Chain A
Amino acid sequence: MSVLRPFRATDMFKFNNVNLDVWTETYGISFYLSYLSRWPDLCCVQQAPSGRMMGYILGKAEGSGAEWHGHVTALTVAPEYRRLSLARKMMDLLEFVSDEIYRGFFVDLYVRCANYVAIDMYEKLGYSVYRRVREYYGSLGVGKGGRDEEDAFDMRKPLSRDPGRRSVRPNGRDIIVSAHDVP
């Protein structure tokens, strides 16, 4: 139960309870405005009836030709609102808009290889690993999780424009590319 509404510029004044969580980054003003000035329909907020922000998703449409797709840049839910399937609902919306409005072939996202919980969730939502990107989160350095901590999985889910499921492959976990090779 939550209100699903567009992400607005002034939400930057309200997202502290979401962004103070250690895993959520707070970027400069231009980061949020660059998304909103291009893909406002791929950015939305879940809000509690009390008005508190519960989480948000920021996305974009990119690529060319058969690589034209929706991309999930940030997906986050405040700690106290987890385990309520909010992420799923926001992903649903992003997939729907990527499909209907942008006519993308697939939706993709990057996730830390060590983040089993998230990977599991995305798999349940129909995503599969397309490739492993080496040192994608390089700035963090090798943490406890070793390579898994700084490598990312590029996960994809085909949309209706890709009925042949050409945008995914079964052996994605074994395909390794370097961070320079991805946009």
Chain B
Amino acid sequence: MSSFAALERQLRPIYDSLDTGSNKSAVVACNKLLKKHPGNELVKALKALALVRLQKVEESLVLCDEVLASKPTDDAVLTAMMHVLRGLGRNIDTVTMFEEAFKQQPSNEELGAQTFFANVRAGHWKSAQQIATRMHKQFHEDRYLYWSVISTVLQANDTTTPSSMKNLLYKLAHRLITSGKAPSYVHTDRFHLHLSILRELELYDEARVLLDHDVGKSICAANLACDELRRDITKLQNRQKQEGEFAESKIVEKGDRNWLEFLSFLDAVFIPDTETDQSSEAFKTACLDRMEHARQVLEKISEKDGKKDRSGPLALLELEKRSRSHDVKQDDQRLLTLLKSYLEQFGDKACCYEDLQPYVVLNGDDLSSWTSFLESIPSSITTINELQRRINVHKLLRFNLAISQLTLEAETTRASLYFTEYLQALPLGANLPNTELQPADDLAILAGCAYVNLWTISKEEKYLYIAASLLEYGLLKSNASFLMRLMLVRIYRLLGAPTLALEHYRAIQTKQVQHDTLSHFILSRASTFSLAATGDLTFATECLETSQIYLSNSQETADFVVRAFTGEKYSQIPEFIAFEDHLDNSLQRDIIKMEHVRMRFTHEIVNSDIMDLELIELKFIFDRNHHDNRDFQILPDYQPRSIPNFNDQTMLFGRGEGHGWLMILLRMYIRALQQSSDLDDTVEEKLLIGDRPKLAADSGNKAPLRDRLRERPQEDLAELTPDEVALLDFTTGLADWLGCYHDYIRPPPSVVLAEAAKQSELKTGHPLKGVEIPPTPPNGSANGHHKKDEEAPAITEPPEVVVNYFNTMKARFAEAQQSSVVDALHVATLIQEAFIFLVIETLRFKSASVVKIYKLNSLVQSFKAIKTNATEVLKEISASLGKQSDRESTAEARKVFTESCSPIVTPEVTHDFILNIAKKVGDARKKVLEGVGKGMTRVCSNHSQ
């Protein structure tokens, strides 16, 4: 048996260990093999992979660089190394590795493809394009030509490409695609790519030739994506008339009921025949004729479809709406007639309200006759259809209520009407299995909306008690109603009962990508409720678990981009890349990150390792172009259009945090961490492993980070609560005050690097790559302190905003405590955060030798005084929260709750049922108040010196 076969056999268990995640035994097996074959690249690569997976980054790096230096070409080595480098975040090195290998074996087509894919994964579209072009020349396969075409398009669309280049690149793509031997229409996705290039270059006539070709026509008839492009190009080409006729034939002859066809059909009605003025009489007359024709067509369709399809009647409404906006209406009554008949015909469908919403934004006489029509509809609810109709009537009436109709009294009457009818209608769904939604659900949701609105009007918490109780009852009947749960999540957060909110959030079982779109419900400003300081990591863990999706995105999505290339699904590639980018640069991702950092610092010892780590991560985030993927539409909203919607009404502290909030928090943290860290940019550059984020083409124009950290744009501030603004003022004052001392003492980069190299060598036995340890400077001392030649900055008094913060906020806390549980928690946790900022900013001055060398005694004295005062304030607040928590789970508190809910106490919703909720709310509040209070004392004692 050859030694090669023997080696092969010995490798198998290593692969098995890696596959099953037994990385430790993989390392052991590799070490054994390396003794026999010390130079074997594959074994080294596999060991490096196992080490990466064991988080032993430094050790892995050494092996990884060794293998890379040998410029491997073997398939197995390359594959293993691809995984190693991916684990280290070094996509760019993967590219180099494959390029080197391909250079050595230029006729290896598979290697060429791998090199292309490595560039694709790294988003290097220009090199990808060059490789594809080369491959096309060399291997004469059409698909390589198309790879080069789409790479060019992707390069054009990339944020790193200057906008001036875009057109040029599209022209190049166009030249490439027309150079192919076979026409693009032999393949649907090639055809799609071709059309999208022509659209971008506005070469509509050329596109028309393709579209009017028989093959082009048949592709569009069977492929929605191509048809979408066709529709788009036709519109851009000003061929709405032809498109309208085409749509009409599809609707009438083929029975097509795609709403897009109806829209094209209606668009054509209002397009002027010539370029003449739209308001001319001739245009109006022509329009009237076409409207009449359209109406006849649509009426015929409506008649034919009956209840089977809503397209005809809805298109008639749309026609009427458009005729009004074009000022060519003929009959004032028509809109109302159509609305009434629509409601009559489709009032028993759940979507009727949503269908009609765009058409019922009415005023004046129209509104009053519409309202009296709705009010005249009989209110009997003896069948499910009648119930659905009743629900639609309620929603439609509510939609148009004016502010004057939303008094405390009127809303109370309405709320209890919805609720009474809800109870009355419940028996209609009594026989449904418990997995089904109850047909009466929307009445409970309407009542919930009304009670929440009563709370916004009156600011009386009792209305939230009622809303919570009746929705809890609704869930008892309709356990699968995620809408009620989401409403409850919001309400319980407002009530300061975070554990109950979390329970409901978990019950809707968000998974995978939903973590990105829905986690804001539970994690927005979650540090307010975090008990991390006491060791209860519920919310911190929730942050980490939720963030898993971003890891899977970065690990998986690029694979599918590659697959789409192999399968030539060009239409999908830009979509996948957009998806990856939206998730990678998700606003929610970084809001979660920020919340986690805030919780982390209350829980862990604040030291330079943590601070450096967080600093680097937060700096990456700071330069991202964020996408807001958060789903707020999911919340039901049946509030009248004259007032804010349910989502806005139930945001914690009345302010939704978005990009502005995140940027302010980032500025606060980055600035503080940067001041206290020894890592400056040059050090970071040397020590950081992995690729840096791509910078957008315009980022070169940005001001230096130092200046950007001091910005306070008004639109960002608007997303902050006044108490958050106070924290910002405090941290800014603190940073301004202490900045110069930090700068003066911070060791020079060479010293920091030397220290890092020393640590790394101690750990791995190898020197740090690319770092040369300079000889100890003549004025340097053994413990790493270096007196600078420049003048020491004069010691100044702390600014007022810093000195007074804690006492001012103590008063503010007393006020907040009177207002609500969440307000108290909000202020308390922010004061605690200010204290942590104080710890971060003063950590450098903790060492006695530093203070001595730099003569900082008086500085230290002044922040010590602030810290002592802060500790006292925190302890007082902690005690006060403790007392408040004791009041929450008493019989008295429960009595207040149950008495508030008396309007909904009925034979169905019993007193005991409500008492149970009162108890749960009381317990949840007690827990969070007590925990936050205890946490504060813990934070104080952690940082007592």
Contacts and interface: CB of A to CB of B under 8 A. Distances in A.
A101 interface: yes
A116 B609 CA distance: 61
B278 interface: no
Interface string A72-89: 000000011111110001
B259 A81 contact: no
B260 interface: yes
B225 A22 contact: no
B487 to A, nearest CB: 13
B512 interface: yes
B545 to A, nearest CB: 15
A13 B225 CA distance: 19
Contacts of B637: none
Contact of B349 (A2, A14, A50, A84): A84
Contact of A49 (B259, B309, B512): B259
A125 to B, nearest CB: 15
B810 interface: no
A177 to B, nearest CB: 28
A9 B567 contact: no
Interface stretch (B125-133, B410-418, B492-500, B557-565): B557-565
Contacts of B257: 1, 89
B1 interface: no
Interface stretch (B575-583, B734-742, B873-881): B575-583
Contact of A16 (B308, B351, B518, B559): B518
Contacts of A52: 354, 633
B224 A33 contact: no
A85 B308 contact: yes
A6 to B, nearest CB: 4
Contact of B576 (A26, A36, A85): A36
B556 A28 contact: yes
A82 B512 CA distance: 25
Contacts of A9: 572, 575-576, 578-579
Contact of B224 (A1, A20, A41, A80): A41
B569 A26 contact: no
Contact of B629 (A13, A21, A40): A13
A29 to B, nearest CB: 5
A40 B309 CA distance: 27
Nearest to A27: B512
A62 to B, nearest CB: 14
A81 B437 CA distance: 13
Contact of A33 (B260, B311, B437, B576): B576
A159 B223 CA distance: 18
Interface in A1-45: 1-6, 8-10, 12-14, 16-17, 19-23, 26-30, 33-34, 36-38, 40-41, 44
A37 B576 contact: yes
Given A1-B314, A9-B575, A33-B556, A96 B355 contact: no
Nearest to A9: B579
A85 B309 contact: yes
B224 A16 contact: no
B516 interface: yes
A100 interface: yes
B482 A5 contact: no
Interface in B231-254: none
A6 B350 contact: no
A92 to B, nearest CB: 10
A28 B512 contact: yes
A20 B557 contact: no
B240 to A, nearest CB: 18
Given A13-B513, A34-B563, A101 B222 contact: yes
A144 to B, nearest CB: 8
B508 A20 contact: yes
B196 interface: no
A48 B358 CA distance: 12
A5 B260 contact: yes
Contacts of B358: 49-50
B96 to A, nearest CB: 27
A37 B569 contact: yes
Which of A6, A37, A84 is packed against the most chain B CB atoms within 10 Å? A37
Interface string B168-189: 0000000000000000000010
A92 B517 CA distance: 31
A163 B510 CA distance: 45
Contacts of B293: none
Contacts of B260: 3-5
B16 to A, nearest CB: 23
B224 A5 contact: yes
Interface residues of B, number: 60
A97 interface: yes
A44 B224 CA distance: 8
A85 B346 CA distance: 14
A20 B350 contact: no
Contacts of A89: 257
B289 interface: no
Nearest to A29: B556
Interface in B502-551: 508, 510-514, 516-518, 549
Interface in B570-603: 571-572, 575-576, 578-579, 582
A33 B563 CA distance: 9
Contacts of B634: 16-17, 20
A97 B517 CA distance: 32
Contacts of B560: 30, 33-34, 36-37
A37 B582 CA distance: 18
A109 to B, nearest CB: 20
A121 to B, nearest CB: 15
A40 B631 contact: no
A5 B258 CA distance: 9
Contacts of A33: 556-557, 560, 563, 576, 579
Contacts of A16: 514, 517-518, 631, 634
B553 interface: yes
Nearest to B562: A37
B310 interface: yes
B435 interface: yes
A44 B850 CA distance: 66
B416 to A, nearest CB: 25
A41 B224 CA distance: 7
Contacts of A40: 225, 569, 571-572
B224 to A, nearest CB: 4
B482 A20 contact: yes
A1 B311 CA distance: 4
Contacts of B337: none
B569 A36 contact: yes
A41 B512 contact: no
Contact of B513 (A6, A29, A38): A29
A6 B169 CA distance: 27
B357 interface: yes
A37 B558 CA distance: 12
Nearest to A23: B435
B854 to A, nearest CB: 52
A152 B108 CA distance: 48
B228 interface: yes
B309 A1 contact: yes
B820 interface: no
20 contacts: A1-B309, A1-B315, A2-B259, A6-B224, A6-B225, A10-B575, A10-B579, A16-B514, A26-B511, A28-B552, A33-B556, A33-B557, A33-B576, A34-B560, A36-B572, A37-B563, A41-B225, A52-B354, A81-B350, A84-B310
7 closest Cβ pairs, A-B complex: A9-B579, A33-B560, A1-B311, A1-B310, A20-B482, A80-B350, A37-B563
Given A1-B262, A16-B634, A33-B563, 7 more contacts: A1-B309, A4-B260, A10-B582, A13-B629, A20-B482, A21-B480, A28-B556
Interface of B: 188, 222-225, 228, 257-260, 262, 308-311, 314-315, 349-351, 354-355, 357-358, 433, 435, 437, 480, 482, 508, 510-514, 516-518, 549, 552-553, 556-557, 559-560, 563-564, 567, 569, 571-572, 575-576, 578-579, 582, 629, 631, 633-634
